[in-house]
Amino acid sequence: MFNTKLGLFVSGRKTVFKTLTDKISTNDKVVWFHTASLGEYEQGLPVLEALKKKYPNHKFVLTFFSPSGFEVKKDSAVADVITYLPLDTKANARKFIKLVHPELVVFVKYEFWPNYLAELKKQQIHTISISTIFRPSQAFFKWYGGWMRKSLHAFHHIFVQDEASQKLLKSIDYTAVTISGDTRFDRVLEILDRDNSLPFIEDFKNDKSCIVMGSSWQDDETIFVPFINAATKDCKFIIAPHNIKSQGIEKLRNIITKSTVLFSEMEHHQDLSQFDVFIIDTIGILTKVYSYATIAYVGGGMGNTGLHNTLEPAVFGIPVVIGKNYSGFKEAEDLVQLGGVLSVTSEAEFNKTMTRLLEDTDFKVATGTINHNYVQANGNVSKIIMEYLSKH
């Protein structure tokens, strides 16, 4: 009653079985695609789209565990049925799989539900896991994790992101593994092929250098707002906060001393180039905004909320700056080591890093090129998965 997200989580599952009964007949050929939330959906989308091309006469069922995925995509045309996954009980697993009767099941990244997996194995339904990553801390690799290890054998094949994951699986005698990488690389590479133009951003930028702060939280804003306030006139700033509620937006605006315009009010201004700071108080356009960036700062890493997507700006071949907490984000770990993503721990380090990137063109270009090459080198993951499926 007092938690909106939890309320959606509970209420949304009440209609799942009726929805499946109404939309899937016993004669339908079905592919079931499951993701935890919106991030995993975006991650798996290249494979889902490839499967739709491969099986044009099949119905596709897309399930989410979290409201943050389902509520955004529930009206999408990407699948024939989009619904929540009922909680992982034996009864739910039996009923769900009986109604869906899939020929192929795809789980994305971290989704391991023992009762569903047991039922899929019992019915010998072809099941794979993609873009999966394993860590020693997971139950599979602990002395008490026997029941979880057993569930892994429901997968006919697991496509992992890295060699470390393959070695961990081998240590527990699971060998049906391919190191394919992360399908998110395919997803971000698709960004380059689409129209990323935003005329109002072009008007605002006015051919000047532009730093884009994407998915920022208050911990991030604490270190970059002083830099914005002290910056010279030949640099523009775009801030896309993670929280776009009006109270948070006004709080952010009030600590910025430069002339600032909001996305929600830009229609009232004929000349956007007169402003120094553009706050994007809407969702859905950040990836296009990154295409205008000279440098990108990706939020979430200064606090403990979790680092946001560094690949989206990296694909444009620009330097990316992040906060200090990026452990567990493989692409960030890789790119920090390679030198394409620059991690800062304080306001002083942020100022020093940004100043060098703005003043040293060779360093800026070299840093961005590292990011471009890394993303390009890690693409074609979906092709590897589809080649396997064409043989099975």
State the catalytic residues. Answer: 40
Q: Is 33:44 a contact under the CB 8 Å cutoff?
A: yes
Residues with Cβ within 8 Å of 23's Cβ and at least 6 positions away in sequence, in order, are 59, 80, 81
Phi, psi of 371 (to 5 degrees): -65, -45
Q: Is 308:184 a contact under the CB 8 Å cutoff?
A: no
Tokens found for residue 130? 């993609």
SS3 237: strand
Long-range CB pairs of 86-94 (<8 Å, 24+ gap) are: 86/13, 86/16, 86/17, 87/13, 88/113, 88/114, 88/115, 88/116, 89/115, 90/115, 90/118, 90/119, 93/118, 93/119, 94/119
Longest dimension (CA), the chain: 66
Which residue's structure tokens are 């205008």?
292
Distance CA 351, CA 357 (A): 10
For β-strands 157-160 and 126-132, DSSP reports them as parallel
Q: Is the dihedral of CA 73, 103, 17, 90 positive or negative?
A: negative
SS3 10: helix
Distance CA 48, CA 71 (A): 19
